[in-house]
Amino acid sequence: MLLELKNLTIPTLDQKRVIVNEVTFGIKEGSIHAIVGPNGSGKSTLAYAIMGLGGYKALKGKIFFDGIDITNLSITERARLGITLAWQEPARIDGLSVHRYISLGMKDKSKLREKIVETLKIVNLEPERYYDRTIDESLSGGERKRVELAAAIAMEPRLIILDEPDSGLDFIVLEDFMNIFEKIKKLNMTILLITHREDIGMVADYGTLIWRGDHIVTDVFPKVMLRYCAKAGLKEFCKRTLFKNGAVCFDDDYIDRIFKEEGLS
């Protein structure tokens, strides 16, 4: 496993409440692994805790990255080990150019321009239009997210955490983003995808369902999604849309069995 969470418990900043409760699962190197769950279930908290952001310190448990205990390492130390995070709403920093931003995390700065151009192409931004732009309000939400992805890819990390990359995007852009995720995977980078949308999650190899802070299941993604629907009581939605038209189909009997396990008919 590239990343392992062992009994990880994350409290609120005032320590009065637990957001993520004794979560244990692992992420295989080279995979796309989606964490799903309803709003407020603790998905983003997990992402921030893995990245090491202040305010998301473990109360209990450990985080291992490639066998190294990173639980008490700083953000910078984790990033230098090969972890990065692309934010749901990345900041707009007036005065910072796209090419400067992308170059920040690059380890090897030789042939800088070529590498930045190449990275912009991966995220489907025309280099001639975006190379010298500044990261300000003139970039749309989708463009800013692509620049963020480009900056993450340029670091050549081993693990990229994508915090709800689907938020605020239309379905055309969403489709494009899913293709970009496949490209990232081919670059031998592992993706941890935080999402609550089944369509974007369909690019995932594996998934983990977090429900009210608890770990429910980690498995191949369609099975995780099925369990998610069962927890939410969305049997008809599940039968009608999720897996009938998707790449993986379950027959009705299998769906019925999963729902029964959740105490639903």
Partner 1 sequence: MNSGDYPEDILQSLEDYNIDIRDFLPGHGKGAKLLLDFNKISGIEQVEGIVIKGREIPNGIVADVVIKEGTKLEEPIHLCFGINKETGVQEIFPRIIAEDNTDVKIQAHCSFPNANGLIHKMFGHYYIGKNCNFTYSETHYHGEKSGALVAPVSYIYVGENSVFENNFNLTKGTPGKVKILIDIYAMKNSVIRSNVKAFGKSNKDSIRIRDSVFLEGENARSVIKMKAAAKDGGEVLMYGITEGNAPYCNGHVECSEIVLGHGSICRARPFIRATDPTSSISHEASLGRFPQKWLDELMAKGLSEEEATDVLIEAMLQEEVIL
Per CB under 8 A, residues contacting partner 1 are 51, 53-54, 74-76, 79-80, 83-85, 87, 90-91, 93-96, 100, 104-105, 107, 134, 136, 151-152, 155
Shorter beta-carbon distance to partner 1: residue 94 or 126:
94
CB of 77 to partner 1, least distance (A): 9
Which residue has 């590239």 as its token pair?
A: 2
CB of 193 to partner 1, least distance (A): 16
DSSP type of residue 97? B
Shorter beta-carbon distance to partner 1: residue 96 or 264:
96
CB of 133 to partner 1, least distance (A): 13
CB of 159 to partner 1, least distance (A): 11
Q: Taking Cα atoms as reference points, which of 178, 224, 170 lies closest to residue 203?
A: 178
Angle between the 112-122 and 141-154 helix axes, to the nearest 10 degrees?
A: 130
Q: Taking Cα atoms as reference points, which of 70, 30, 26, 28 lies closest to residue 51?
A: 70
Shorter beta-carbon distance to partner 1: residue 149 or 255:
149
Give the number of other Cβ atoms within 10 Å of residue 164's Cβ.
Answer: 21
CB of 24 to partner 1, least distance (A): 24
Shorter beta-carbon distance to partner 1: residue 83 or 191:
83
DSSP type of residue 164? -
> Would you call 13 exposed, middle or buried from its count of C-beta atoms within 10 A (0-12, 13-18, 19+)?
exposed
Shorter beta-carbon distance to partner 1: residue 155 or 191:
155
